Amino acid sequence: MNKLKYTSIIVFFISCTQSPIIYTSVGKLSLKKKISSIINESKINTNIGIKAISLTSGKTLFDLNSNSLFNPASNNKLYTGLSALSLLDSNYTFNTNLYYDDNKLYLQGGGDPDLSLR
């Protein structure tokens, strides 16, 4: 249950920011440096608590104020995150279908939270 709780907290904080680049063509960037950089460059004046744990090894990858108590920005995000983690397999992928008909392209979304008009 603790693993689910920590994963939900991490999903919550990541959903509030633009997805960081963890891998580049040069190689793996330091997760700790990348998260610290995002926090330091942020213009938001608030308290932040993060704890990232490897699901395979159980080792703490990043820890910042994880023992502090905070009010959640939105309880709905907590419910949604916990529901998604409990209902969806860890290998779940969203499907987005493209259809072509009479010179028109149709996009049928399947709930992908990263799908945007950019």
Separation of alpha carbons 31 and 21, rounded Å: 9
Does residue 104 belong to any structural domain of this protein?
no
Q: 28 vs 94, which has greater pLDDT?
A: 94
pLDDT of the residue at 113: 67
Distances (CA, A) of 110 to 2, 51, 80, 92, 98: 30, 30, 16, 12, 11
Average pLDDT, the chain: 75
pLDDT of the residue at 1: 58
* Residue 108, helix vs strand vs coil: strand
Does residue 109 belong to any structural domain of this protein?
no
Contact 62, 35 (CB under 8 A): yes
Q: Which domain holds residue 54?
A: 2-92
Q: What are phi and psi of 113, to 5 degrees?
A: -70, -15
Does residue 21 belong to any structural domain of this protein?
yes
What pTM did the predictor assign? 0.38
Query: For the chain, where are the alpha helices, taking DSSP H only?
Result: 2-15, 31-41, 75-87
Give which of 77, 70, 76 is closest to 50, Cα–Cα: 70
Q: How many domains does the chain have?
A: 1
Give which of 61, 94, 78 is closest to 12, Cα–Cα: 78
Separation of alpha carbons 34 and 112, rounded Å: 25
Query: What would the pLDDT profile of 35-89 be if each residue is shown by its tens digit?
Result: 888 888 887 778 888 888 888 888 888 888 889 887 767 777 778 778 888 888 7
Separation of alpha carbons 116 and 112, rounded Å: 9
Confidence check: pLDDT of 105 > 80: yes
